Structure 1
């Protein structure tokens, strides 16, 4: 089989894998014997094989675990490519494939310390690539920079959040200190040295702009994923001068390279400031960017030639006009004549040509204060000779206008219709008065009718009633209800983005809950729609009456629950700023539960008496359900320094054991034990009705959480000292029995 047929079959297998990534683990074992060096494969097949391996392990269409299993069989082929091949294309693709495979082999070696053969093979590949980094052609060096970036990422410890671990991030943090193959200290030292090699590239020769821009792009990834190297990288980048080639001859090639390096450097620092707006380095970065911007303007703008001065259009230089006494072209001497017909004051005093910009400028767009500031300097700068000449022109125009005969009605009509003098000569007037359509209609209205209409019988009109709308289906109810809720919260989003305006609100308990079209008013409306959609609270004479359930609830769809879910998502989206919304909503839920329960008990008492009225259905409490949902949503994001949780727990209207159990779960995180204890202390001081439940919670923390004992001991000493005495008694008996602790009696 010749090379072309082999390539055609290999390309078919590649297209199959590109269509579905699940075929990669099956195709790789069949391709490796064909593309290997020991199979005496031609150069075209080896180039295809190296490209295929680089594309395969960079593809996101198959899982990381499958890549880790398949990469071990590829290592000998990559090592043969780098050891024996001299083709630049093969080496570039092999280095790119090695950059993708190195983290996979690293993780495999961590999980399987007995597999030393594959780790040694990967070490030989890494040594070969690092030797080529300084002497290889430019394209290969760029691929080596990418490989070094992957090695630094893998061999540098990452900052891991124990609550949200990232299993895709492979770093030195995963390596145990006693690993037999991977030494923690050696890996850390190697990554530090390789990072220095990357930073030395940008401070070396700037003759290869592609290599420098590739290095800067790699540093951006390190800044984003490895915060421990931020200080070193930023110090080196801030000391880097992207316009260093300005000292060399300013050839077009050097200009393009300088602009490319400067733009990449600016994007690197700007993206860092966007991702870390509170970083202490942002001040220095801003100063560095300003300095580079000024340098760039000085370098590139000074090479531009100044435009030639414009020649005077009237043949007279501005410096000679005063000596020769010539009248400039823009003087009032060139003022246009007055038009025929009625003249306004603006036309009388306007001496500029009709097409000039001054006649079309609207002075009213400028403020009154701005006009006063400009008017005095302008009057001082006017030439007295020009002013006298303009006054004489206006005086002459006024005298000419005063000598004109007054306009007749025909002239006014011609002026209104746009008729000209030629039209007047051909016009033959009709002296009969012509009436327009409106006058004819008015006359016809006043004409008495020819025949009188028949008298209308004095009978009452029949009542008119609109036909009842067809009932909505369940799908239509859900569709229209969801659309209404979306429009409500769309209004809320617009009010959140709009600047807040100070509104005057009537103080006291008798004020209206929603008297303005501001954010608080809309929040009150939404909260009450969620809590009172199916109960009428406006008719106290009939108690609590249910509204039409076909509108509020039908089937499994409930407008109230839909609004509640949307309100919950709105709060969780930015819960620190919207904790007041959650408090107001839950207060409305608690109040509505009390009103419904009271109405239900009242209906029970009425139904048990002589009245035949049927009792209301037993209400379903909503306050506890949605309070627990709010807590379950925000507790994973609460930090140890957040005081918003204390405020929320203290402001909701009712606390029970289920709600306080959530507060106890906060202490399961060692970093947030103190926050949970602070909440308990606050409730003990300012919420006496729940003091017993809080003390039970504190006692549970004392018994079940070792990390919370130093914080809750003071509380138990004050409110429940018997718990501490019992434990001390148990410890004393255990010491007396030889160290064996006996359980305390119930």
Structure 2
């Protein structure tokens, strides 16, 4: 197999998972190393692989540190190569490795590897001014990393130490720093390090920063190098506040449009636009990162000044005097000479030909012009519209108006003209005119028979259109729908209504205006409450037959003959799901729905009682009892709310107080909810509120509370406080039972 193919396989494996890098690098170095006498393609691949490896974000920097020491001889050899591509990748790899070797040297005092790194740094810095443009850009990246790690970082916290630093000598806390996990700076270097001199590193970083700033203020012919330097400085500003003011002050003195004084060639325009956009993006980013930066005022003034300069340089419309604006109608009041307005020449429209006229002849104003294209050839109407609309927009408005008036005059003339006979039908003869019979020879019988055979049938001969009677057209009656189709279409309608209901805005607060009662118009305001009322009344009253006293309502388990009971249940299920989707905000919808159910049950019960009394007087049967839907729907909705309610949800209290009717089974749900220790207070609060403000259910509330006190040990303390006021005899009976139980147990022990 080709060696490059094997190397690419190993590279693909490492790109998929960064954990394979420590295993792949020792196997690749003998092939790409300086002692392998590798070919140019192999050396290029090796330099690219090393640059990609140590810049990979999937491989942690702590794991990169042991491996970077093994590639230092290889990088040092690559920098002496004659190929530009190898040198560029080697410089990029060195830029990624320098902070790792720097941190390793701080903690381990490893002199040989640091000497290798210093040799690589010297080689790169020598190339910075004389190398080809691509290599110089890579050198700028390396210098950026050197300045970054050899400059003091953020203010450190002496209370927390870095695990890589040695313990401080005595009580000296000056060398104890707290750098960020990935921030390698001069703050990591102790003052007494034997390999790294604190002052020399800081001075070298300052000198390299000056070299970067000299590139910005130097020759602007190489826009790629200047743009790369500006981007490198932009990364140093937020991470190194100690040198940020120096960098910003230097950039504010930078003139990105310096080449405007030279000949404005296309190359110079591209160079100036590139540097101006990079500078503007850099300064805007500085203002966004730190709105309280003291340089923001100067930056804003600099951006305004550069904007005006750019407009003056690149806006060519201001370099020439604009042409005078001519009057559209040829009349200028500022001129002294009198000008006669030009009268447009009206086109002569030819008259219509005699006889029946087609639409084409009606709209054709120029018979010699002919159509520009045949519209019948277009199969797609959208394609035809895309052509016709621009054509109509390009037509002169005056000419178009004249043409429309000409067609209108033709049409009015046709309406006033007498009706023309249809083709094949002779015109009626005038009584006053004499019949004209031309001279002809009599035909024989054979000719008459041939003419009759070739003539169309009598039913195909058209009558005169003016005398034809107009027959009203009726659409055929649609086939009747089955029960399954009725249910399907009803469910689809319900889903569409609830989809529209969900798109309406939720009311921010309760309306201050009082709402009308059951006799209000449901859809008078077209808001969410109106649609909810319509849906609730469709579910409760659609199948009730309130206007027909002879029609008895069906039970909830029965099936209506008209199929609307299933639709009513579908609406009830949809209302239940809509309320439970956000029950805290939609509790008012649930209350309104249950009110409609209760009202319908009362009306139906009265109707059935009247019908039952009439039947009892006639047949002697007992009155029937109507089983409504309110209790079933209320229990279902209450069970769903209790499943999600928490101990702090006061919405449940509002729901229990506003539904129209309460019974023992509904209130027993509070006892079930009190089995949860976190919701005991809420359950007792509901019962207490109903006892105080709904007198008809006081006895039921007390009975539920007594049952809760007897069966729920955790609810006894809270229930006892209320039972002392409402039913104290229960507590006394309970204490007596406890005393008897205690005495009995003592007697048993005595025996």
Q: TM-score, normalised by structure 1?
A: 0.50
Provide the residue aligned with 1:705 in structure 2.
Answer: none
Q: Pick closer, same or farther for the CA change 1:599–1:179 going to 2, 3 Å.
A: farther
* 1:121-160 → structure 2 map (5 Å cutoff): 121-159=116-154
* 1:169-248 → structure 2 map (5 Å cutoff): 169-248=183-262
- Flag structure 1 segments of 5+ consecutive residues without an equivalent: 335-353, 359-414, 439-455, 489-525, 562-588, 621-746
Which SS does the other structure have where 1:420 is aligned? helix
Kept in 1: contact 2:154–2:179 (CA 8 A) = no
Provide the residue aligned with 1:674 in structure 2.
Answer: none
Q: Pick closer, same or farther for the CA change 1:600–1:483 going to 2, 3 Å.
A: closer
From 462, 467, 475, the equivalent of 2:553 is 462
Within 2, Cα distance between the matches of 1:37 and 1:258?
43
Q: Pick closer, same or farther for the CA change 1:13–1:483 going to 2, 3 Å.
A: farther
Residue 276 of structure 2 corresponds to residue 281 of structure 1: no
Superposed CA deviations along residues 141-161 of structure 1, whole A, max 9, x for unmatched, are 110100011111212222268
Q: Pick closer, same or farther for the CA change 1:324–1:261 going to 2, 3 Å.
A: same
Provide the residue aligned with 2:97 in structure 1.
Answer: 101
Superposed CA deviations along residues 598-619 of structure 1, whole A, max 9, x for unmatched, are 8899999967998798667858
Superposed CA deviations along residues 681-735 of structure 1, whole A, max 9, x for unmatched, are xxxxxxxxxxxxxxxxxxxxxxxxxxxxxxxxxxxxxxxxxxxxxxxxxxxxxxx
Structure 1 residue 437 displacement after superposition: 8.6
Within 2, Cα distance between the matches of 1:160 and 1:544?
69
Within 2, Cα distance between the matches of 1:536 and 1:617?
27
Which SS does the other structure have where 1:105 is aligned? helix
Structure 1 residue 537 displacement after superposition: 6.6
Within 2, Cα distance between the matches of 1:161 and 1:295?
43
* 1:600-639 → structure 2 map (5 Å cutoff): 618=714
Q: Pick closer, same or farther for the CA change 1:200–1:607 going to 2, 3 Å.
A: same
Within 1, Cα distance between the matches of 2:680 and 2:297?
49
Structure 1 residue 99 displacement after superposition: 0.4
Kept in 2: contact 1:78–1:94 (CA 8 A) = yes
Residue 38 of structure 2 corresponds to residue 41 of structure 1: yes
Within 2, Cα distance between the matches of 1:118 and 1:286?
47
Within 1, Cα distance between the matches of 2:223 and 2:257?
11
Q: Pick closer, same or farther for the CA change 1:123–1:457 going to 2, 3 Å.
A: closer
Superposed CA deviations along residues 214-255 of structure 1, whole A, max 9, x for unmatched, are 001111111232223221111011110001111222222111
From 72, 75, 87, the equivalent of 1:75 is 72
Within 2, Cα distance between the matches of 1:184 and 1:600?
79
* 1:350-361 → structure 2 map (5 Å cutoff): none
Structure 1 residue 425 displacement after superposition: 2.0
Structure 1 residue 168 displacement after superposition: 1.9
Provide the residue aligned with 2:61 in structure 1.
Answer: 64
Structure 1 residue 290 displacement after superposition: 0.9
Structure 1 residue 135 displacement after superposition: 1.7
Structure 1 residue 317 displacement after superposition: 6.9
Provide the residue aligned with 1:290 in structure 2.
Answer: 304
Residue 48 of structure 2 corresponds to residue 51 of structure 1: yes
Residue 251 of structure 2 corresponds to residue 256 of structure 1: no
Superposed CA deviations along residues 119-139 of structure 1, whole A, max 9, x for unmatched, are 221122112111211121111
Superposed CA deviations along residues 535-578 of structure 1, whole A, max 9, x for unmatched, are 567439999977979x9999xxx9xx9xxxxxxxxxxxxxxxxx
Provide the residue aligned with 2:14 in structure 1.
Answer: 17
Structure 1 residue 107 displacement after superposition: 1.9
Structure 1 residue 259 displacement after superposition: 1.0
From 403, 413, 422, the equivalent of 1:421 is 413
Superposed CA deviations along residues 27-68 of structure 1, whole A, max 9, x for unmatched, are 111211221223322323222211111111111222222211
* 1:384-423 → structure 2 map (5 Å cutoff): 420-423=412-415
- Over alpha carbons, which structure has the higher Rg? 2
Greater mean alpha carbon deviation, residues 155-164 or residues 85-94: 155-164
Q: TM-score, normalised by structure 2?
A: 0.50
From 80, 91, 98, the equivalent of 2:87 is 91
From 93, 113, 117, the equivalent of 2:112 is 117
Kept in 2: contact 1:266–1:289 (CA 8 A) = yes
Within 1, Cα distance between the matches of 2:550 and 2:209?
101
Within 1, Cα distance between the matches of 2:116 and 2:45?
23
Superposed CA deviations along residues 152-181 of structure 1, whole A, max 9, x for unmatched, are 121222226869974122222333333333
Kept in 1: contact 2:331–2:339 (CA 8 A) = no
Kept in 2: contact 1:216–1:265 (CA 8 A) = yes
Provide the residue aligned with 1:634 in structure 2.
Answer: none
* 1:223-622 → structure 2 map (5 Å cutoff): 223-302=237-316, 318=332, 322-327=336-341, 420-427=412-419, 459=550, 461-463=552-554, 465=556, 484=582, 531-532=649-650, 538-539=656-657, 595=685, 618=714
Which SS does the other structure have where 2:35 is aligned? coil
Q: Pick closer, same or farther for the CA change 1:485–1:267 going to 2, 3 Å.
A: farther
Which SS does the other structure have where 1:38 is aligned? helix
Q: Pick closer, same or farther for the CA change 1:469–1:260 going to 2, 3 Å.
A: same
- Flag structure 2 segments of 5+ consecutive residues without an equivalent: 161-177, 347-393, 399-407, 420-463, 475-546, 557-564, 587-643, 693-698, 717-751
Which SS does the other structure have where 2:36 is aligned? coil
Superposed CA deviations along residues 100-127 of structure 1, whole A, max 9, x for unmatched, are 01111122222323x2211221122112
Within 2, Cα distance between the matches of 1:232 and 1:148?
17
Kept in 1: contact 2:645–2:652 (CA 8 A) = no
Superposed CA deviations along residues 434-458 of structure 1, whole A, max 9, x for unmatched, are 89899xxxxxxxxxxxxxxxxx996
Kept in 2: contact 1:37–1:46 (CA 8 A) = no
Within 2, Cα distance between the matches of 1:24 and 1:12?
13
Within 2, Cα distance between the matches of 1:552 and 1:95?
72
CA RMSD of aligned residues (A): 5.5
Within 1, Cα distance between the matches of 2:259 and 2:222?
11
Within 1, Cα distance between the matches of 2:235 and 2:121?
20
Q: Pick closer, same or farther for the CA change 1:420–1:51 going to 2, 3 Å.
A: same
Provide the residue aligned with 1:28 in structure 2.
Answer: 25
Within 2, Cα distance between the matches of 1:277 and 1:195?
25
